[in-house]
A = this chain, B = another copy of it.
Amino acid sequence: MGIKDDAVEVRAQGWRTLAALHGLIEAELERSLQGQARLSVVEYTVLDALSRQDGWHMRMQQLARATALSASATTRLVNRLEDRGLLTRILCADDRRGIYTELTDSGSKLLAEARPVHDAALERTLAEAQQVPELAPLVDALPRLHAGV
């Protein structure tokens, strides 16, 4: 067992911690958002990403990257949200393959309701995770990543 093997083990451990915290947060967000806004976490992510976009447009592929989802999953996700009237598809004028999505008023409104739920759940879960010894160091490190913002 040398230095090299240690690095492998440290990475694996870091990844397990990351995955554990991610699972915990996602599960709690899912419960809260589903219960209080009828939104899944990815659905919230889409609305949030759209709202933080300058012109309020995004193309399907950008959305796929923002949600870490496959192209096909993104198509169906946008279908669901469109069926609920939360966003609309807009054909791209210059590139007719491209499809923009844009929040509707109804979508912005739902997002405005959901955001506090999301933020509260996040705060609550992080506080809870801080009580778990294996997770605490990562929880503490998170806010320092973007402290300047």
Contacts and interface: CB of A to CB of B under 8 A. Distances in A.
Tell me how many chains of this kind the complex includes: 2
Given A20-B68, A22-B18, A11 B122 contact: yes
A142 interface: yes
Contacts of A7: 143
Interface of A: 6-15, 17-27, 45, 68, 118-119, 122-123, 126, 137-138, 141-147, 149
Contact of A123 (B11, B138, B141, B144): B11
B145 A19 contact: no
A17 B22 CA distance: 11
B68 A17 contact: no
Nearest to A18: B22
Given A68-B20, A145-B17, A8 B123 contact: yes
A105 B24 CA distance: 32
